[in-house]
Structure 1
Amino acid sequence: MIQSIEKFEELLAMLEKSSENEQKRVIEEMNIIIEKMDSNELFSVLTEKMLNRVDGMIEEKIFSFENTILFLSQMGYFKTLKDRQGRYFNYSLLCNRIRKMIIYEGQKKDEKNEKLLVDLCECYLFFNEVYSSELFFICVPCLLKASLNKEESEEAQRKVEMALVALDNISQYKKIEKGLYLNEIKEILKYHQEHRNLTRLAYQSAWKFLINRLYNDESLEEMSANELHFAREASRELDELSKCVDWKRKEEKGKKGRDWKDMTIIKNWLQKLNEFFLLFPTWKEECDEVIRCVVGICRAARESENEIYEEGLSLLHTIINMENVRTVVFLNGGVFNLIMEEMQQPTLISNLLLRHLKFCLIFTFRLKRKAESEIEEANRRPAKMKLFEELEEEGYEDIITSLYRIILKLDSMFYFRVSLDIVDYFVNI
């Protein structure tokens, strides 16, 4: 960690002594270091003092604004992906300079420098987490327009990705007027579904920009779910990505290795699916695909990617509480088996064990309660039989029974409760 930070500081000092062309080379070297940093290392160099230092270099004509944009855009891009928040930028002199430039350029009637405005808006949104309505209504339409570029060249795709990643950094707590910018984001998503013109990260970022709006506009559920098929698309992306990454790779010195960006995308899809289902617990379409996909990811991530594994389990626990999702979907998707495998782990932490026990209770309660009709009961019977056989054949009953002694203790430690009657955890035929 110290070595990366020291090298970054060394290169930052070199910028003050280099020519404009040499500065470009130094910035490229700095970007390589930043990409390899973890979030804590990045946070330690992204300080108000450092940003004020860069602003001073601009003021003294040491640093061209072209090179400033090159320096900030890549750093902000990696900062956003590594999920490190901080309001240091808001109080820096550099933030104030960029803010004034955006307003000046955005209010121009003629001869507006569109490229400069896009670059400025990206840098501002990459770093900033508190922004005025004036800047919001300049930056968002500017970056959406840039994101609508349908060129298929690698350079064009990269520019679109940068614009969309900047947009997805906008908090869900920022209320956007109903209907505003919907046509643009809808066009971006639908065009990609037909032509596959976006990078994986760009496509996810476009979805995040839309899903964040659901917190303030629930009417978007219909468009997100049934028109644009959020769950289906997220499952497809997760399926494809999970086949590309090396789940068994060895960690090197605490870094995330070459797959860190793909791992970040997988984690973000799981988080957004969880948010979606928490917001709309009555929704049930395409859940079978989500469940099957997430179970596979949990199994793959269990040994090496703890954050992804926990996000997957959290999503499965959210879905089991959705009454509209049929119990047989969980059984066929392998959720019950996954949870029971986890309950056998010797290092399982107490609060997670309690959640797993609650999962078993919900699962068996659904199969125990009286069906509304004989037809429904007949349809449910194969699922009940399958679960009964697995409880017996795999020794799951013994596992639950062996945990009974600590259930009372766990039940008193956490905010939710589980049954103290061991019979409630089993299904009888």
Structure 2
Amino acid sequence: MENADIEPFYDMFPEFDFAEEEERLMKEEMNGMLEKMDKEELKPFFSKEEFDENYELILKNKYPFEKALDLLKHVGYENAIKTTGHSIFTDTSLKKRFERKIIFENEKTEGKDEKLLIDLCECYILLDRWFSYELLPICMSCLLKVALNRKEDKESLKEVEMDLLALSNARYQEIEQELYLNEIKAIIKYHQEHCNLTQLAYQSAWQILIDQLFFDHSLDHVIVNELHCAREAKRELEELAGCVDWKRKEEEEIGEKESREAKILKRWLQTSAFFLEHCRLWNEDIVELFNSIVQIFQVAKDNHRDISRKCIDCFRYANYNRTVGIDLLLESGVVDIMLEETVKNKAEDMQIKYYLNFFEVVCKRLKEMEEEGMDEAKRKEGKRKIHEKEEEEGFEDFIISFQEILPHYTLYHRHSDRIDFSDYVIRL
């Protein structure tokens, strides 16, 4: 897509002074353009200058705030589904305008515009995952009420998808259980029985729940034993993987040619990585999910770099979780994968710090097992197998070749010039 196509939305439709049908067609055109943009092409929409200019135009009545909401919402939607991470919305006047409007509309005792309040909450969270705790109960209550809608017409399904996607964008903030848990459980259980949600809506519902594992491990039982997260994630991943063209060339992976299924697959992998890191319960379903991710990596590694890297994130984060046995990392082939990925990387690729960190964590875990006298036979067997695999790949020679620059790539030793090769290489 040419740079000329990346215009701020207020330049595309500056006045909104159209007949209703013309306005609908203009919005459809705009949404189609947004859908075709890749991560880089979306960036201009998320600068502080862009938000400030939009705020000024709204103040000058160049276009009504309510009508601007629809375009802003779809900009946020594309930003969220493509997991770009772009947003400089936090300290802008436009964000403050949203907050005032949400509070004002919510506090109305008469003439409350529920549709406007929903649009405000959706747009507010989609544009910035860091939102006011004062608005958290308002937004959760408003959007979950819509998400519980069980109508299955196209418009209702799209609205539920938008609401759940918005709520799933509010990551890294602790949410009290009474604000969301019963509703999210009801949404997930109903879908498991009736398949009433879109794939993206279902993934978003799970992400809302799993993100809270970081703050609240009382959710482990609900997620693992009651709602069967691993079983559901495995099924969704395999269904989505069946829709991805694994043979296409890497340069076709991004932008308008990337399928919706590939985008949702990456979101499921992101959610699975967080689940594998923080879940303290472990069962056969989770082992099968882990093995399924290994299989996806094997088909993605040559042509789908984004997908393969998200698989690697799953392996890395699972390695942080002491509930995950070293034997699983060996038996699933993850140790082999990480060795292969490490030795084939070049020094200038910053991704290598994540591969090296994987072996830092493995070595650290084996040392902890020795110090604590845990599973002596299993520890020695795991140590022997990893040592043999490292020797096969020439891993020690590879680490030695990095001796001078290794401190700049590692995570544990980033502030030190001291490198102990036993932090990476298993020696018997």
**TM-score, structure 1 as length reference:** 0.79
**CA 216–101 in structure 1, closer or farther in 2 if over 3 Å, else same:** same
| Letter matched to residue 262 of structure 1 | E
**Mapping for residues 10-89 of structure 1, pairs under 5 Å:** 11-13=12-14, 15-16=15-16, 18-46=18-46, 47-52=50-55, 55-56=58-59, 59=61, 63=64, 65=66, 67-82=67-82, 83-88=84-89
Q: Which residue identity does 2:154 align to in structure 1?
A: E
CA contact (8 A) 1:4 1:37 kept: no
- Which shifted more, 348-357 or 208-217? 348-357
Question: Residues 308-319 of structure 1 correspond to what in structure 2 (within 5 A)?
Answer: 308-319=307-318
Residue by residue, what CA displacement relative to the aligned partner does 1:274-302 show, whole Å, maximum 9, x if unpaired? 3233334x432233113212212222222
Once the two structures are superposed, the pairs formed by residues 380-391 of structure 1 within 5 Å of their partners are 391=388
The 5 Å alignment of 1:1-400 reads 1-6=2-7, 11-13=12-14, 15-16=15-16, 18-46=18-46, 47-52=50-55, 55-56=58-59, 59=61, 63=64, 65=66, 67-82=67-82, 83-88=84-89, 91-93=92-94, 95=95, 98-109=98-109, 112-173=112-173, 175-250=174-249, 255-280=254-279, 282-285=280-283, 286-345=285-344, 347=346, 349=349, 350-352=352-354, 354-355=356-357, 357-358=359-360, 361=363, 391=388, 397=392, 399-400=394-395
CA shift, 1:398, in A, is: 5.6
Letter in 1 for 2:13: L
| Alignment check: 8 A CA contact 1:87 1:129 kept | no
Closer, same or farther: CA 49–3 of 1 in aligned 2, 3 Å: same
How many Å separate the matches in 2 of 1:194 and 1:125? 29
Distance change >3 Å, CA 71–CA 332, structure 1 → 2: same
- Secondary structure class of the residue paired with 2:258: helix
- Deviation per residue, 1:39-84 (Å, 9 max, x gap): 3322313512442265257x36x6584x434323322211222334
- Residue range with higher mean Cα deviation, 243-252 or 353-362: 353-362
1:320: Cα distance to partner? 3.2
More displaced, 104-113 or 264-273? Answer: 104-113
1:179 partner SS: helix
Instruction: Judge conservation of contact 1:90–1:130 (CA < 8 Å) in 2.
Output: no
The CA distance in 2 between the partners of 1:136 and 1:421, in whole Å, is 47
* TM superposition shift of 1:110: 5.2
Please identify, of 264-273 and 351-360, the stretch whose mean Cα deviation from structure 2 is larger.
351-360
Change in Cα spacing, 1:250 to 1:54, as seen in structure 2 (3 Å) is farther
How far did residue 166 of structure 1 move?
Answer: 1.3
* Contact 2:300 2:308 (8 Å CA) reproduced: yes
Instruction: Give the counterpart letter for 2:159 in structure 1.
Output: K
Shift of residue 396, structure 1, vs aligned partner: 5.4
**Cα pair 2:125 2:170 within 8 Å, conserved:** yes
Matches of 2:9 and 2:107, distance apart in 1: 37
Given that residues 300 and 307 in structure 2 are in contact (C-alpha distance below 8 angstroms), is that contact kept between their aligned partners in structure 1? yes
Note the residue ranges of structure 2 that are not aligned, 5 or more in a row.
414-418
What is the CA–CA distance in structure 2 between the aligned matches of 1:331 and 1:22, rounded to whole Å? 60
Q: Describe the superposition over 1:180-212 as per-residue Cα deviations: whole angstroms up to 9, x where unpaired.
A: 321111101111122221111111111122223
- Judge which range, 240-249 or 253-262, deviates more: 253-262
**Shift of residue 335, structure 1, vs aligned partner:** 1.8
Indicate conservation of the 8 Å contact 1:247/1:304, yes or no: yes
Whole-angstrom distance in 2 between the partners of 1:116 and 1:422? 56
In the TM superposition, what is the alpha-carbon distance from 1:36 to its structure 2 partner? Answer: 1.5
Decide whether aligned partners of structure 1 residues 162 and 54 sit closer, same or farther in structure 2, where only a CA change above 3 A counts.
farther
Q: Distance in 2 between matches of 1:288 and 1:366?
A: 23
Contact 2:357 2:411 in 1 (8 A): no
Structure 1 portions without partners, runs of 5+ = none
Matches of 1:345 and 1:181 in 2, distance apart?
Answer: 45
1:406 aligns with 2:401: yes
Letter in 2 for 1:248: K
Give the whole-Å Cα distance in 2 for the aligned partners of 1:419 and 1:50.
Answer: 53
| Alpha carbons 2:282, 2:323 under 8 Å: kept | yes
- Partner AA of 1:290 in structure 2: L
Contact kept, 8 Å, 1:320 with 1:362, in 2: the verdict is no
Preserved contact between residue 125 and residue 170 of structure 1 (Cα < 8 Å): yes
CA contact under 8 A between 1:351 and 1:410: conserved in structure 2?
no
Separation (CA, whole Å) in 2 of partners of 1:7 and 1:64: 16
RMSD of equivalent CA atoms: 3.9
Q: Conserved in 2, the CA contact under 8 Å of 1:189 and 1:206? A: yes
Alpha-carbon deviation of 1:426?
6.9
Structure 1 residues 325-334 or 118-127, which shifts more? 325-334
Q: State whether residues 77 and 162 of structure 1, in contact with CA within 8 Å, keep that contact through their aligned partners in structure 2.
A: yes
Q: Note the alpha carbon deviations across 1:335-376, whole angstroms, 9 max, x for none.
A: 233234324526474535534654775798899999978xx9
User: Cα 1:381–1:194, aligned 2, differ >3 Å: closer, same or farther?
Assistant: farther
- Partner amino acid, structure 1, of 2:210: I
Q: Distance in 1 between matches of 2:424 and 2:29?
A: 63
Question: Is the CA contact 1:42–1:79 (under 8 Å) kept in the aligned structure 2?
Answer: yes
